[in-house]
Structure 1
Amino acid sequence: MTSRTSRAILGALAIVSVGAASAPALAQDGNAESRLRKLEAEVRALQRTVFPGPNGRFFQPEITGAAPAQNTQQAPPSTTAVTDILARLDALEAQIQSLTSQTESNANALSELETRLSALEVTNTAPGGQASGSSAPQQNLSVMTGGASASAPPPPPPPAATPAASGPTPGRLAAVQAIAKPQTDDPGDDEYSYGFRLWEAGFYPEAQQQLALFVEKYPRHWRTTYGLNLLGRAYLDDDKPAEAAPWFLKNYQSDKQAARAPDSLLYLAEAMIAAKDTSRACIALAEFAETYPAIAAGRLSDQYEANRKKVTCN
C-alpha cells in the first residue's frame, strides 16, 4: 500500500514539475490557461483518490492549495428562538402561580369579611332593635301652638339596655313565617302590608324591622304616611314610647295634610303620656285640636277625649 501511495505521489510531482517547466511555453500558448486549469483539476482528483479523508488511514497531502483562513476559535452557542420562548413561558408560569396564590388569599380575606358583616347585620336587626340601615328621626320633639314655637324640655333618656335575648324561639319563627307576604304589582304596598300583618299579629319587633325597611326604601310612596304612623305604633304597643315618638313627629312634620298626619300627632301625645312627659303631651293635644278641629270632633274624637282625661293641662 505504501509503494502504491509513493508511486502516486511521485507521479503527481512529476506532472507538477512538467507543468512548472513548461510554464514559459504555456504562457505563449492561447490554451495555456485552460490546460493549467485542467491540470489543477486532475491534481485535486488525484489527491481525493490518495487521501480520501482525515480518518487516520492515509497520510495527509504534503502539497495543498491555499485554504481559506479558518477561525479556530469556536463561537459560543447562540440562543435559539425556541430557547427564548421556553424561558419566557417559564417566567409567565411563575407569575401566574404567584397571581393565583394572591387571588386565593384575597378571596379568603373577602369571605371572612363578608362573614363578619353578616354577623353584624344579624346583630343589628335582632328582634327588639331597629332595622340596620334605617336612621331614626331626631328626638328634639317640638310642636307649634298658636303659630308660635313651643319647645318642651328634652325627652327622658331611654330605658337602660337589657341583655340581648338568646333569639326567637322556633315556635315564634314558625309563626312569623306563617304570615304570608303579599305579591302584587305594587312592591311598595306589599312591603307595607306585610309590616301591617306582622303588627296585627302582635309580632311588634318584626313589624318594626319590616316597616322601617319600607319607609327607608319607599320614602315617597303613597303608603309612606301609613308606614311611619304604624311604625310608631309598633314601638308604642311594644311599650317603647321614647322610640315611638320620633316616628310620629316625623310623619306629622313631613306633611301635615298627609292621610295619617293627624293620627300621628294624637299618638305623639299618647306616647308622651306613656313616657310621663305631661308638658309635651299637653302641647301635642293642643296642636291637634287647633290643626285638625274637624277630626278632633269627628273620626278621632274618642281617642282625643280619652287622652285629655289622662293629663291635666293648663
Structure 2
Amino acid sequence: MKVLFIGGTGLISEAVSKLAIERGIELYLFNRGKRDAHVPSGAKVILGDIRDPKSAAAALEGYHFDVVVDWIAFTPEQVSIDIELFRGRTKQYIFISSASAYQKPPVHYIITEDATPLENKYWQYSRDKIACEQLLQEEHASTEFPYTIVRPSFTYGDTMIPAALNSWPHPWSLIARIRAGLPVIVHGDGSSLWTMTHNSDFAKGFVGLLGREEAIGEAYHITSDEVLTWNQIYEAIGAAAGAEPKLVHISSEFLVSHDPELTGGLLGDKAVTSVFDNSKIKQLVPDFEATLSFAEGIKRTVAWFEAHPERCTEDAEWNEQMDAIIAAHASGFKK
C-alpha cells in the first residue's frame, strides 16, 4: 500500500509513521523538511509546502496514493486545497479532526461517533474542525470524494507531559513544579472523568484504517478505554515524578477569568467529562486495543525527558502565572 502523510513528524503522526513502516506500508511524508530528526527510517520525503497550492501541486505531480492523510489541516480553506490536489489521485483521504468537536457539554457522558452531536461554542479550533468535516461530507455527497474522519482525543507520547494546565513550550515545567513542592492547579474539583491515550496505542487503531473501503464516508475516534479523574491523572504524574503533588482545586470559570485564552482548552474540552465508546473502531480493526496505562505511559515520558536534559527547561512566565492565579484564588478565602 502506498500512503502519503502530509506532515507525519508531529507528536501523534510520528508514532503512526513508525508503525505504518513496520507493517510494510510504503510511506511518503510531504512536508517542508523542518523536522528531519523525526522522520522514521524507511519513510520517503517529498519536500513541499501544502500551504502553497501551486508549489504543492508541482511537487506532487505524477504521484498517486492509495491513502492520503493530512495531519495539519485545520480550516475548510485548507481542506479545499487538499480536495483539489487529490481528487482522482487517491482511494482514501483521511482528515484529522478532533474529539473536542463533540458537543460541550455532551448530551450523554459516553461519547459515540454517530449519536453525539458536533457542537462547541467555546473553541474556534473545534468549530473549524466541524466545518472541515461538513465540507468533506458535502463533497462526498456530490462527487464521492473518498474521505474518512479520525477524531483523536488527548493523545500524548514521550515528548509531551500531558495536563490540563502546563507550559506547551516547556512541558517539563509541571514536573519541576511538583518536585519543588509547589502547588499545582487542577481545574474544578478534579473529579470529572477524562481519557488519556498514548500515541503508540492510537497508532494501532489508525494504521488499521488505512486502505479500508468500509471506512469511506465514516468518522472514528481512537482512544484508550481507561477512564481517570483529573485528580488521578495528576497523582499519576506526581508518582512518575517521584513526588506527591500538592493539588489546588480552582474552578474553570475562575481560571478563564484570569486567562481568557484557556477558554477553549478548558470549557471547550478538558473541563467536560469525556468517556469514549470505541466500539466502532474495534468493529473495523478487531486487533485494536489500547494496552498502555497512563501510569506506565507517563513514567516513560518522564524517563525520556530525564534522558534528554536539554529538554528539561522551565517556563518562568508560566510559573509566575500559576502563582498569581493561586494567590488570587486564596485571597478570596481569607477572612
More helix as a share of residues: 1
The one of the two structures with greater contact order (alpha-carbon pairs below 8 A, sep at least 6) is 2
Which structure's CA Rg is the greater one? 1
TM-score of the aligned structures, taking structure 2 as reference length: 0.22
More strand as a share of residues: 2
TM-score of the aligned structures, taking structure 1 as reference length: 0.23
